[in-house]
């Protein structure tokens, strides 16, 4: 039962609530499951709960029964096993007190062995055989509460129980008098054994779940450079048939260097109104993207040396003789390199229909003269670009498109530059080198948290309050179990 209960809680944690999240703290990533998503999780988890429970072995039942005209008959029921369970209907409710899962109209099929012995001062009689039992109209309920504790989640059992209304017993072999004895004397003990066994499994599952939640990592690796802070922020919000959790969600370097507190400001509450028709909503604050940019900038990933170009003649001083006459005069027909470096991390903002990025870039022109690399000039560019995010499986990818840019003179060792002539060259560099390189990286995608074993389906992206909201249905893609 530990496995399905773990799925129940973690799947119900995939949710922003229909009521704005109120807390002293908020996460930069919010995860939400709508009513539709809760029903999906409930049906899936009940199926997993049943499959992981079966077969369920019950303790032997040993009882002496007084039979008129005979006296005491000793009867033992052994190898009592629940082999199948079918759920007729189920429901799940969330509220301020916790999560409640209720199954009703359930039936269970059992098998068992029986044996009896009777003796008096004259005769000894014994027999044995098999029996099948059907438990009818069974009701099962469990309620749990979830709390944040030192950046992790803790769960505790509020109540659980199983109630058996009716039992049908069929004996294979035995006298007719024995059949009625078993029905009359053992109906209640069998029902109690089923109720106790299922309740015990639920309690064991909650204890294992709490231990598992406490051991969840507080950061997850994205690649060899960065990690994401996945500590939980405040208690989950359980209301209006929904559950919401917030996690920190900001990027950090692999050596645990935290990002400046500047990126931990200006947080707005998430808005899940666009996700009502979908199962899951994942809300990402723009600061998630900004901290990722800072980490990769600090790691040196935003610096390129360009010595190959689609039009290779552009990297020869002869092509520059009209744009930069002094360059050609001093270094005639020499090869060139372009040293492209961002001067600061890109600034990313959530706009109305996409992500906007402002990029500050320096391009230094190097001449290769007799195997010596000589910096000769530098220009600065301010690039305004838009990024159109897209979902690739369970990753958030994107394509960067140029909106506008400005180019300005920064320094030169050999005379002034003709800036009006340099602009077309700068445009060619951006379109043929810079943007393709960046898009190659962006299309690798950012993995989305909490989706192990699931695939997003029919995902849509919305933008509001400095947040990007991914609304999607879910498909179970693998049998994912937690021991």
Is residue 251 within 8 A of residue 224, CB to CB? The reply is no
Strands 372-392, 446-447: pairing kind: unpaired
Residue 3: pLDDT band (50, 70, 90) is very low
433: number of CA atoms within 13 Å, CB side? 24
Determine the Cα–Cα distance for residues 98 and 160; give it in Å rounded to an integer. 13
Determine the Cα–Cα distance for residues 320 and 61; give it in Å rounded to an integer. 96
DSSP state of 123: -
User: How many residues would you count in the chain?
Assistant: 483
Kindly state the percentage of the chain with pLDDT values over 70. Answer: 85
Give the closest residue to 295 by CA, choosing from 331, 247, 362, 348. Answer: 348
Give the closest residue to 280 by CA, choosing from 82, 461, 437. Answer: 461
Is pLDDT at 265 greater than 70 in this prediction?
no
Determine the Cα–Cα distance for residues 229 and 219; give it in Å rounded to an integer. 4
- What pLDDT was estimated at residue 202? 82
- CATH fold of the domain at 54-215: Bactericidal permeability-increasing protein; domain 1 (3.15.10)
Mean pLDDT for 334-343 is: 92
Non-local (6+) Cβ contacts of 224 within 8 A are 254
The least confident of 1-15, 38-52, 281-295 is 1-15
User: Torsion angle of alpha carbons 306, 312, 314, 317, nearest 10°?
Assistant: 90
Range(s) within the chain of domains with CATH label 3.15.20.10: 219-476
Is pLDDT at 443 greater than 50 in this prediction?
yes
Assigned CATH for 219-476: 3.15.20.10
Question: Averaging pLDDT over each range in 213-217, 252-256, 324-328, 466-470, which range is the top one?
Answer: 466-470
Non-local (6+) Cβ contacts of 234 within 8 A are 23, 24, 25, 26, 148, 246
The least confident of 49-53, 80-84, 428-432 is 49-53
The dihedral of CA 263, 265, 271, 272: what is its sign?
positive
Q: Measuring CA to CA, how many Å separate 23 from each of 31, 38, 229, 244, 465? A: 15, 23, 19, 12, 17
Q: Which residue has the tokens 């999240």?
A: 21
- What pLDDT was estimated at residue 479? 52
| Higher per-residue pLDDT: 259 or 181 | 181
Mean pLDDT for 316-340 is: 88
Mean pLDDT for 319-336 is: 87
- 93's enclosing H/E stretch is strand 89-95
Determine the Cα–Cα distance for residues 159 and 46; give it in Å rounded to an integer. 18
Helical ranges in 222-332 per DSSP H: 286-298, 325-330
Is residue 6 within 8 A of residue 481, CB to CB? The reply is no
Output the six-digit token pair for 360. Answer: 């500050």
Range(s) within the chain of domains with CATH label 3.15.10.10: 54-215
Is residue 388 within 8 A of residue 354, CB to CB? The reply is yes
Determine the Cα–Cα distance for residues 246 and 252; give it in Å rounded to an integer. 17
Kindly state the percentage of the chain with pLDDT values over 90. Answer: 22
Quick check: bond before 55 cis, omega within 30? yes
Output the six-digit token pair for 71. Answer: 């006296």
Determine the Cα–Cα distance for residues 114 and 175; give it in Å rounded to an integer. 12
Is pLDDT at 16 greater than 80 in this prediction?
no
For the chain, the average pLDDT equals 82
Residue 26: pLDDT band (50, 70, 90) is low
- What pLDDT was estimated at residue 6? 39
Query: pLDDT tens digits for 212-259?
Result: 888 888 888 888 888 888 888 888 877 676 778 888 889 988 876 656
Q: Which residue has the tokens 């901290």?
A: 291
Helical ranges in 394-446 per DSSP H: 419-429, 435-442
């Amino acid at each position: 039962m530990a496995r399905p209960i773990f799925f129940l809680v973690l799947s119900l944690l995939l949710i922003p609530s229909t009521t704005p999240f109120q807390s002293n703290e908020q996460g930069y990533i919010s995860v939400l499951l709508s009513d539709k998503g809760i029903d999906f999780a409930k049906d899936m988890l009940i199926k997993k709960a049943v499959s992981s429970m079966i077969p369920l072995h019950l303790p032997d039942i040993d009882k002496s029964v007084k039979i008129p005209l005979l006296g005491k008959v000793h009867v033992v029921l052994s190898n009592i096993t629940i082999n199948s369970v079918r759920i007729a209907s189920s429901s799940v409710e969330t509220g301020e007190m916790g999560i409640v899962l209720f199954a009703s109209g359930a039936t269970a099929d059992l098998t068992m062995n029986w044996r009896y012995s009777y003796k008096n001062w004259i005769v000894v009689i014994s027999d044995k055989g098999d029996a099948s039992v059907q438990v009818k109209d069974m009701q099962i309920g469990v309620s749990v509460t979830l709390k944040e504790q030192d950046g992790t989640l803790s769960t505790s059992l509020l109540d659980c129980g199983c109630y058996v209304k009716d039992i049908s017993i069929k004996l294979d072999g035995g006298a007719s008098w024995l059949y009625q004895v078993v029905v009359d004397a053992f109906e209640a003990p069998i029902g109690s054994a089923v109720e106790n066994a299922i309740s015990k499994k639920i309690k064991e599952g909650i204890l294992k779940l709490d231990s598992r939640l406490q051991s969840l990592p507080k950061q997850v690796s994205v690649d060899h450079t960065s990690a994401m802070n996945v500590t939980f922020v405040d208690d989950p919000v359980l209301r209006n048939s929904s559950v919401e959790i917030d996690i920190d969600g900001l990027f950090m370097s692999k050596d645990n260097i935290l990002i400046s507190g500047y990126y931990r400001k200006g947080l707005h509450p998430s808005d899940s109104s666009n996700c009502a028709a979908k199962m899951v909503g994942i809300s990402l604050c723009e600061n998630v993207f900004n901290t990722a940019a800072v980490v990769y900038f600090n790691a040196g990933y935003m610096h390129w040396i360009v010595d190959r170009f689609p039009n290779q003649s552009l990297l020869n001083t002869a092509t520059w003789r009209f744009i930069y006459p002094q360059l050609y005069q001093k270094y005639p027909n020499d090869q060139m390199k372009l040293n492209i470096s961002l001067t600061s991390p890109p600034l990313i903002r959530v706009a109305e229909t996409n992500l906007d990025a402002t990029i500050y870039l320096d391009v230094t022109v190097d001449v290769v003269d007799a195997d010596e690399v000589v910096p000769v000039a530098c220009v600065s560019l301010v690039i305004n670009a838009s990024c159109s995010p897209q979902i690739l499986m369970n990753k958030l990818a994107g394509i960067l498109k140029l909106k506008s840019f400005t180019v300005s003179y920064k320094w030169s060792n050999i005379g002034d530059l003709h800036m009006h002539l340099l602009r077309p060259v700068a445009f060619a560099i951006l379109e043929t080198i810079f943007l393709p390189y960046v898009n190659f990286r962006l299309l690798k995608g950012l993995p989305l948290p909490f989706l192990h074993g699931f695939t997003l389906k029919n995902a849509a992206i919305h933008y509001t309050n400095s947040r990007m909201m991914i609304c999607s249905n879910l498909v179970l893609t693998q049998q994912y179990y937690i021991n």
